[in-house]
Amino acid sequence: MSQLIAHAVSMEFMRKTRTANFFVAVAPTDFEIASGQFIEIAGHSGSGKSTLLGMLSGLLPPTSGEVLLDEQNLYQLREPDLAAVRNERFGIIPQSNTALQSLTVLQNVLLPAVIAKKPAPEAKARELLGELGLAPLMEEKPEALSGGELRRLAVARALLMDPDFILADEPTAGLDSENIGIVLRMLRQRADSGAAVLIAAHESQVAQYADKVLKMDGAHLSPS
Ligand SMILES: Nc1ncnc2c1ncn2[C@@H]1O[C@H](COP(=O)(O)OP(=O)(O)O)[C@@H](O)[C@H]1O
Ligand SMILES: [Mg+2]
Protein backbone atom coordinates (compact mmCIF):
# COMPACT_ATOMS: atom_id res chain seq x y z
CA MET A 1 0.00 0.00 0.00
CA SER A 2 1.53 3.30 -1.09
CA GLN A 3 0.40 6.80 -0.31
CA LEU A 4 1.18 10.25 -1.58
CA ILE A 5 0.13 13.05 0.73
CA ALA A 6 0.43 16.79 0.36
CA HIS A 7 0.22 19.01 3.43
CA ALA A 8 -0.60 22.63 2.70
CA VAL A 9 1.48 22.77 -0.48
CA SER A 10 1.47 26.10 -2.24
CA MET A 11 3.19 27.69 -5.19
CA GLU A 12 3.89 31.34 -5.65
CA PHE A 13 5.57 32.59 -8.79
CA MET A 14 7.50 35.84 -8.88
CA ARG A 15 5.27 37.93 -11.05
CA LYS A 16 3.78 41.35 -10.49
CA THR A 17 0.04 41.38 -9.91
CA ARG A 18 -2.25 44.27 -9.01
CA THR A 19 -1.76 43.68 -5.30
CA ALA A 20 1.61 41.95 -4.87
CA ASN A 21 4.97 41.06 -6.40
CA PHE A 22 4.03 37.42 -6.60
CA PHE A 23 1.27 35.39 -8.11
CA VAL A 24 -0.37 32.50 -6.25
CA ALA A 25 -0.69 29.58 -8.70
CA VAL A 26 -1.69 27.09 -5.99
CA ALA A 27 -3.01 28.24 -2.61
CA PRO A 28 -2.11 26.05 0.41
CA THR A 29 -3.64 22.69 -0.50
CA ASP A 30 -4.08 19.35 1.25
CA PHE A 31 -4.36 16.29 -0.93
CA GLU A 32 -3.91 12.55 -0.67
CA ILE A 33 -4.05 9.55 -2.91
CA ALA A 34 -3.42 5.86 -2.14
CA SER A 35 -2.93 2.61 -4.03
CA GLY A 36 -5.97 1.59 -6.03
CA GLN A 37 -7.48 5.06 -6.26
CA PHE A 38 -8.20 6.93 -9.49
CA ILE A 39 -8.65 10.65 -8.89
CA GLU A 40 -9.32 13.41 -11.40
CA ILE A 41 -8.44 17.02 -10.82
CA ALA A 42 -10.70 18.97 -13.15
CA GLY A 43 -10.62 22.68 -13.82
CA HIS A 44 -10.19 25.40 -16.37
CA SER A 45 -6.95 26.26 -18.05
CA GLY A 46 -4.79 28.40 -15.77
CA SER A 47 -6.43 27.20 -12.54
CA GLY A 48 -3.23 25.59 -11.22
CA LYS A 49 -3.66 21.90 -12.12
CA SER A 50 -0.26 21.41 -13.77
CA THR A 51 1.50 23.29 -10.99
CA LEU A 52 -0.10 21.09 -8.33
CA LEU A 53 0.67 17.94 -10.31
CA GLY A 54 4.28 19.08 -10.74
CA MET A 55 4.66 19.51 -6.98
CA LEU A 56 3.14 16.06 -6.34
CA SER A 57 5.39 14.51 -9.01
CA GLY A 58 8.65 15.62 -7.40
CA LEU A 59 9.33 18.04 -10.24
CA LEU A 60 8.51 21.36 -8.62
CA PRO A 61 9.52 22.14 -5.03
CA PRO A 62 6.58 23.91 -3.37
CA THR A 63 6.91 27.41 -1.97
CA SER A 64 5.54 26.05 1.31
CA GLY A 65 4.14 22.80 2.64
CA GLU A 66 5.37 19.28 2.08
CA VAL A 67 4.79 16.22 -0.07
CA LEU A 68 5.10 12.84 1.63
CA LEU A 69 5.60 9.57 -0.21
CA ASP A 70 4.95 6.78 2.28
CA GLU A 71 6.03 9.19 5.07
CA GLN A 72 9.22 10.24 3.28
CA ASN A 73 9.38 13.96 2.51
CA LEU A 74 9.97 14.00 -1.26
CA TYR A 75 11.84 17.27 -1.33
CA GLN A 76 14.21 16.22 1.43
CA LEU A 77 15.53 13.42 -0.77
CA ARG A 78 18.86 13.96 -2.49
CA GLU A 79 18.35 14.76 -6.17
CA PRO A 80 19.56 11.33 -7.46
CA ASP A 81 17.19 9.58 -5.04
CA LEU A 82 14.32 11.85 -6.04
CA ALA A 83 15.13 11.21 -9.70
CA ALA A 84 15.02 7.46 -9.04
CA VAL A 85 11.60 7.80 -7.36
CA ARG A 86 10.31 9.77 -10.35
CA ASN A 87 11.68 7.23 -12.79
CA GLU A 88 10.77 3.99 -11.03
CA ARG A 89 7.83 4.61 -8.72
CA PHE A 90 6.09 7.41 -10.64
CA GLY A 91 4.74 7.22 -14.16
CA ILE A 92 4.67 10.86 -15.12
CA ILE A 93 2.84 12.07 -18.21
CA PRO A 94 3.75 15.74 -18.63
CA GLN A 95 1.39 18.14 -20.37
CA SER A 96 3.91 18.88 -23.11
CA ASN A 97 5.77 16.51 -25.39
CA THR A 98 9.02 15.30 -23.83
CA ALA A 99 9.97 12.60 -26.35
CA LEU A 100 13.64 12.63 -27.32
CA GLN A 101 13.94 13.37 -31.03
CA SER A 102 17.10 11.32 -31.55
CA LEU A 103 15.45 8.09 -30.37
CA THR A 104 12.80 5.97 -32.05
CA VAL A 105 9.33 5.68 -30.56
CA LEU A 106 10.21 2.26 -29.13
CA GLN A 107 13.48 3.55 -27.65
CA ASN A 108 11.62 6.47 -26.08
CA VAL A 109 9.22 4.08 -24.39
CA LEU A 110 12.15 2.00 -23.10
CA LEU A 111 13.99 5.04 -21.74
CA PRO A 112 12.86 4.64 -18.09
CA ALA A 113 14.40 1.14 -18.00
CA VAL A 114 17.63 2.41 -19.56
CA ILE A 115 17.83 5.22 -17.00
CA ALA A 116 17.18 2.72 -14.19
CA LYS A 117 19.95 0.50 -15.62
CA LYS A 118 17.50 -2.38 -15.86
CA PRO A 119 17.19 -4.87 -18.72
CA ALA A 120 15.01 -3.29 -21.41
CA PRO A 121 11.56 -4.94 -21.29
CA GLU A 122 11.17 -4.76 -25.03
CA ALA A 123 8.26 -7.19 -25.33
CA LYS A 124 6.32 -5.13 -22.81
CA ALA A 125 7.08 -1.87 -24.61
CA ARG A 126 5.87 -3.38 -27.88
CA GLU A 127 2.72 -4.63 -26.20
CA LEU A 128 1.95 -1.20 -24.70
CA LEU A 129 2.53 0.48 -28.05
CA GLY A 130 0.30 -2.09 -29.70
CA GLU A 131 -2.52 -1.49 -27.21
CA LEU A 132 -2.23 2.22 -27.90
CA GLY A 133 -2.39 1.74 -31.67
CA LEU A 134 1.23 2.79 -32.23
CA ALA A 135 2.64 -0.55 -33.42
CA PRO A 136 3.19 0.69 -37.01
CA LEU A 137 5.12 3.73 -35.72
CA MET A 138 7.53 1.97 -33.36
CA GLU A 139 10.62 2.49 -35.49
CA GLU A 140 9.76 6.10 -36.42
CA LYS A 141 11.28 9.16 -34.79
CA PRO A 142 8.88 11.29 -32.72
CA GLU A 143 8.99 14.06 -35.36
CA ALA A 144 6.91 11.78 -37.59
CA LEU A 145 4.12 11.60 -35.01
CA SER A 146 0.99 13.70 -34.63
CA GLY A 147 0.14 15.41 -31.34
CA GLY A 148 -2.25 12.64 -30.38
CA GLU A 149 0.31 9.96 -31.22
CA LEU A 150 2.90 11.72 -29.05
CA ARG A 151 0.38 11.76 -26.17
CA ARG A 152 -0.02 7.99 -26.50
CA LEU A 153 3.77 7.52 -26.64
CA ALA A 154 3.94 9.38 -23.32
CA VAL A 155 1.29 7.04 -21.88
CA ALA A 156 3.26 3.95 -22.95
CA ARG A 157 6.49 5.35 -21.48
CA ALA A 158 4.76 6.17 -18.18
CA LEU A 159 3.36 2.64 -17.84
CA LEU A 160 6.55 0.76 -18.72
CA MET A 161 7.91 0.40 -15.19
CA ASP A 162 4.56 -0.56 -13.58
CA PRO A 163 4.72 2.54 -11.39
CA ASP A 164 2.98 2.77 -8.01
CA PHE A 165 1.72 6.23 -8.98
CA ILE A 166 0.61 7.48 -12.36
CA LEU A 167 0.56 11.27 -12.53
CA ALA A 168 -0.93 12.32 -15.83
CA ASP A 169 -1.35 15.89 -17.03
CA GLU A 170 -4.02 16.07 -19.74
CA PRO A 171 -3.18 12.55 -20.97
CA THR A 172 -6.06 12.55 -23.44
CA ALA A 173 -5.59 16.03 -24.90
CA GLY A 174 -5.83 15.97 -28.67
CA LEU A 175 -7.08 12.37 -28.83
CA ASP A 176 -10.23 11.24 -30.65
CA SER A 177 -12.88 9.67 -28.45
CA GLU A 178 -11.91 6.10 -29.34
CA ASN A 179 -8.34 6.67 -28.20
CA ILE A 180 -9.51 8.61 -25.14
CA GLY A 181 -11.43 5.47 -24.17
CA ILE A 182 -8.42 3.23 -24.78
CA VAL A 183 -6.11 5.40 -22.64
CA LEU A 184 -8.62 5.84 -19.81
CA ARG A 185 -9.43 2.13 -19.70
CA MET A 186 -5.70 1.34 -19.52
CA LEU A 187 -5.28 3.78 -16.62
CA ARG A 188 -8.40 2.47 -14.84
CA GLN A 189 -7.05 -1.06 -15.19
CA ARG A 190 -3.75 0.02 -13.56
CA ALA A 191 -5.71 1.48 -10.63
CA ASP A 192 -7.72 -1.74 -10.33
CA SER A 193 -4.44 -3.65 -10.10
CA GLY A 194 -3.19 -1.41 -7.31
CA ALA A 195 -1.63 1.71 -8.79
CA ALA A 196 -2.69 5.19 -7.69
CA VAL A 197 -3.80 7.21 -10.70
CA LEU A 198 -4.08 11.00 -10.69
CA ILE A 199 -5.21 12.82 -13.80
CA ALA A 200 -5.42 16.56 -14.38
CA ALA A 201 -7.85 17.34 -17.17
CA HIS A 202 -10.09 20.08 -18.39
CA GLU A 203 -12.31 17.76 -20.40
CA SER A 204 -14.97 15.67 -18.79
CA GLN A 205 -14.68 12.15 -20.23
CA VAL A 206 -12.22 11.30 -17.45
CA ALA A 207 -14.83 11.66 -14.69
CA GLN A 208 -16.68 8.47 -15.59
CA TYR A 209 -13.54 6.42 -14.87
CA ALA A 210 -12.61 8.21 -11.65
CA ASP A 211 -13.41 7.23 -8.05
CA LYS A 212 -13.25 10.87 -7.08
CA VAL A 213 -13.27 14.18 -8.95
CA LEU A 214 -11.79 17.29 -7.36
CA LYS A 215 -12.09 20.74 -8.80
CA MET A 216 -9.30 23.28 -9.20
CA ASP A 217 -10.54 26.83 -9.44
CA GLY A 218 -8.34 29.91 -9.20
CA ALA A 219 -5.55 28.10 -7.30
CA HIS A 220 -8.01 26.44 -4.89
CA LEU A 221 -8.78 22.72 -4.81
CA SER A 222 -12.17 21.58 -3.58
CA PRO A 223 -14.52 18.58 -3.84
CA SER A 224 -16.53 18.88 -7.06
N1 LIG B 1 6.88 29.06 -14.20
C2 LIG B 1 5.85 29.92 -14.05
N3 LIG B 1 6.09 31.24 -13.82
C4 LIG B 1 5.06 32.11 -13.64
N5 LIG B 1 3.76 31.75 -13.69
C6 LIG B 1 3.47 30.47 -13.93
C7 LIG B 1 4.49 29.48 -14.13
N8 LIG B 1 3.88 28.29 -14.35
C9 LIG B 1 2.55 28.50 -14.29
N10 LIG B 1 2.31 29.82 -14.04
C11 LIG B 1 0.98 30.43 -13.88
O12 LIG B 1 0.26 29.73 -12.88
C13 LIG B 1 -1.11 29.61 -13.24
C14 LIG B 1 -1.50 28.14 -13.20
O15 LIG B 1 -0.86 27.47 -14.29
P16 LIG B 1 -1.04 25.92 -14.52
O17 LIG B 1 -0.72 25.22 -13.26
O18 LIG B 1 -0.25 25.58 -15.73
O19 LIG B 1 -2.60 25.80 -14.79
P20 LIG B 1 -3.44 24.67 -15.54
O21 LIG B 1 -2.60 23.44 -15.65
O22 LIG B 1 -4.66 24.49 -14.70
O23 LIG B 1 -3.80 25.23 -16.88
C24 LIG B 1 -1.26 30.25 -14.60
O25 LIG B 1 -1.75 31.55 -14.43
C26 LIG B 1 0.15 30.29 -15.14
O27 LIG B 1 0.34 31.38 -15.98
MG1 LIG C 1 -2.05 22.41 -17.27
pLDDT tens digit sequence for 79-111: 999 999 999 999 999 999 999 999 999 999 999
Residue whose CB lies within 8 A of the most ligand 1 atoms, among 11, 45, 47, 51, for a mutation test = 51
| Model confidence band, residue 20 (pLDDT cutoffs 50, 70, 90) | confident
58, 61, 74, 195 from 79: Cα distances, Å: 10, 12, 10, 24
138, 154, 214 from 96: Cα distances, Å: 20, 10, 22
Mean pLDDT of the region 56-83: 97
Domains of the chain: 3-223 (3.40.50.300)
Question: What residues pack around ion ligand 2 (CB closer than 5 A)?
Answer: 49-50, 95
The predicted structure's pLDDT at residue 13: 95
| Model confidence band, residue 76 (pLDDT cutoffs 50, 70, 90) | very high
The predicted structure's pLDDT at residue 45: 95
Mean pLDDT across the chain: 96
Q: Is the pLDDT of residue 144 over 90?
A: yes
By 3-state DSSP, what share of the chain in percent is helix, strand and coil, each rounded to 5? 35, 30, 35
The predicted structure's pLDDT at residue 202: 86
Burial environment of residue 73 by CB neighbours within 10 A (0 to 12, 13 to 18, 19 or more): exposed
- Cβ atoms of 147 and 157 closer than 8 Å: no
Strand ranges in the chain using DSSP code E only, listed in sequence order: 3-14, 22-34, 38-42, 64-69, 72-73, 90-93, 165-169, 196-201, 212-217, 220-223
| Model confidence band, residue 203 (pLDDT cutoffs 50, 70, 90) | confident
Q: What is the DSSP letter of 174?
A: T
The predicted structure's pLDDT at residue 34: 98
The Å distance, Cα 47 to ligand 1 centre, comes to 8
β pairing state of 165-169 and 196-201: parallel
Q: Counting every residue, how long is the chain?
A: 224
The predicted structure's pLDDT at residue 15: 86
Percentage of residues of the chain with pLDDT beyond 70: 100
The predicted structure's pLDDT at residue 78: 97
Q: Is the pLDDT of residue 224 over 90?
A: no
Q: Is the pLDDT of residue 204 over 80?
A: no
Give the residue among 7, 33, 29, 3 at the shortest CA–CA distance from 198. Answer: 33
The Å distance, Cα 129 to ligand 1 centre, comes to 31
Distance CA 39, CA 41 (A): 7
Distance CA 32, CA 178 (A): 30
β pairing state of 212-217 and 22-34: unpaired
